[in-house]
Amino acid sequence: MRRTLFSFILIAMPLIMQAQQLKFSNFDQWITREIKESKIIGGNTTTLYEIGPTGTWNGRKPFVNQGGSPWANSNIMAKVAGVVKTNVTVYPEAHKDGKCVKMVSHIVGVKVLGLVNVHVLAAGSIYLGKMREPITSSSNPYGYLDFGIPFAYKPKAIQFDYKVKLSGKPDRVRQTGFSPVKTIPGMDMPGVILLLQKRWEDEKGNLYAQRIGTLVHRFNKNTEWVDGAQFEIHYGDITRESFYKDYMKLQDGGDDQKYALNSKGKIVKVKEVGWGSPDDTPTHLCLQFASSFGTAFVGAVGTTFWIDNVKLVY
């Protein structure tokens, strides 16, 4: 009996650990999308890329995650007033014997009938969750993101390979296309955000959370490939810790507020109402890599971030 139980434990342990890993996190498989933009803005055909099982998803149909992939990204199809436009800031790129993710911050230009020019700063990002297409307005870009996945584990750290190329500019800009370009003090930096949340929903469909675990890191210098870098996840209230920065604070309604899908089928804000205990068990894992930090439409052209081989360390 003891021998049988011991054998079962040995067999089950790798399965348990494997269940806590993220699918497609070596980024060797990609889905390509060919989308023809509206004639009024030029009618170009653009290739978009999604992380998932190798395949295609062509045409002007909203993308949904494929093959159980938990990853979404900032490559999107927008349809505003009947006009179809795309944005590509995330690409697959060769790395070692496979592929990696390349995220860039750039300017997206739209010329209507060859006369009206609109230019927007767009950053590249990948995240755990889903994107609800098509985008129909630029007024609240985060309102289309179902951010985070169900998750009930407590890893010690996150590990990944990375490479950084900064813009070389001393400041960032905020460029929405509908207001004057504004200079934002401070250089642009790529970053990673990992939040472990304990979420719940009230009878009206509002989503709330306690923050159980936190890792926020910004990369402030150029690097070649750094392999197997590990970043510790901190549990509980970290506001009194020496490493605490203001950008690690609770997300309680600011411009970079995260959203998620509620039980009523609506994407709403996830308001963090407090810090959880280190002993609490999370319900969701939020993970995002981005070429620029901060809010939408803010960054510096040329900031580039490469990521590969993402793993959770226990």
Q: What is the CA radius of gyration of the chain?
A: 20
Classify residue 28 as exposed, middle or buried by CB count within 10 Å of its CB (0-12, 13-18, 19+). Answer: middle
Q: What is the pLDDT of residue 138?
A: 74
What Cα–Cα distance (Å) separates residue 309 from each residue in 20, 26, 104? 15, 4, 19
Higher pLDDT residue, 70 or 178? Answer: 70
Torsion on CA atoms 67, 308, 196, 149, rounded to nearest 10: -10
> pTM value?
0.91
Residues 6+ apart with CB under 8 A from 246: none
Mean pLDDT computed over 213-238: 98
Q: What is the pLDDT of residue 181?
A: 93
Structure-token pair, residue 264: 């009523």
The backbone torsions φ and ψ at residue 101, rounded to the nearest 5 degrees and listed phi first, read: -100, 135
Mean pLDDT computed over 30-43: 94
Q: How far is Cα 297 from Cα 122, in angstroms, rounded to an integer? A: 6
What Cα–Cα distance (Å) separates residue 6 from each residue in 10, 13, 139? 6, 11, 57
- What DSSP state is assigned to residue 70? -
Find, among 290, 296, 310, 119, the residue nearest to 230 by Cα.
310
Domain at 25-313: CATH architecture: Sandwich (2.60)
Q: What is the pLDDT of residue 112?
A: 62
Please provide the DSSP assignment of 165-218 as one string: E----SSEEE--SSS--EEESS----EEEEEEEEEEE-TT--EEEEEEEEEEEE
Tens digits of per-residue pLDDT, 258-277? 999 999 999 999 999 999 99
pLDDT of residue 127 exceeding 50: yes
Domain ranges across the chain: 25-313
pLDDT band of residue 294 (cuts 50, 70, 90) is confident
Find, among 147, 152, 124, 141, the residue nearest to 178 by Cα.
141
**Which of 24-33, 64-73, 111-120, 276-285 comes out lowest in average pLDDT?**
111-120
Mean pLDDT computed over 121-149: 92
pLDDT of residue 19 exceeding 60: no
Structure-token pair, residue 211: 């923050």
Q: Are 311 and 160 within 8 A, CB to CB?
A: yes
pLDDT band of residue 310 (cuts 50, 70, 90) is very high
Q: How far is Cα 212 from Cα 237, in angstroms, rounded to an integer? A: 8
Q: Are 37 and 48 within 8 A, CB to CB?
A: no
Mean pLDDT computed over 205-214: 98
pLDDT band of residue 114 (cuts 50, 70, 90) is low
**Which of 10-24, 41-55, 118-132 comes out lowest in average pLDDT?**
10-24
Count of other CB atoms within 10 angstroms of residue 9: 10
Structure-token pair, residue 179: 């207001």
pLDDT of residue 150 exceeding 60: yes
Termini Cα distance of the chain: 30
Q: For residue 134, is the peptide bond before it cis, meaning its omega torsion is within 30 degrees of 0?
A: yes
Mean pLDDT computed over 19-35: 89
Q: What is the pLDDT of residue 256?
A: 74
Tens digits of per-residue pLDDT, 50-62? 999 999 999 999 9
Instruction: Please report, rounded to a whole number, the percentage of residues in the chain having pLDDT higher than 90.
Output: 80
Q: What is the pLDDT of residue 255?
A: 72
Q: What is the pLDDT of residue 111?
A: 64
Mean pLDDT computed over 7-24: 50
Report the chain's mean pLDDT, rounded to a whole number.
90
Find, among 197, 160, 184, the residue nearest to 286 by Cα.
197
**Which of 8-12, 40-44, 301-305 comes out lowest in average pLDDT?**
8-12
Q: What is the pLDDT of residue 252?
A: 81
pLDDT band of residue 18 (cuts 50, 70, 90) is very low
* β partners of residue 235: 213
Higher pLDDT residue, 138 or 145? Answer: 145
**Which of 127-141, 148-162, 205-219 comes out lowest in average pLDDT?**
127-141
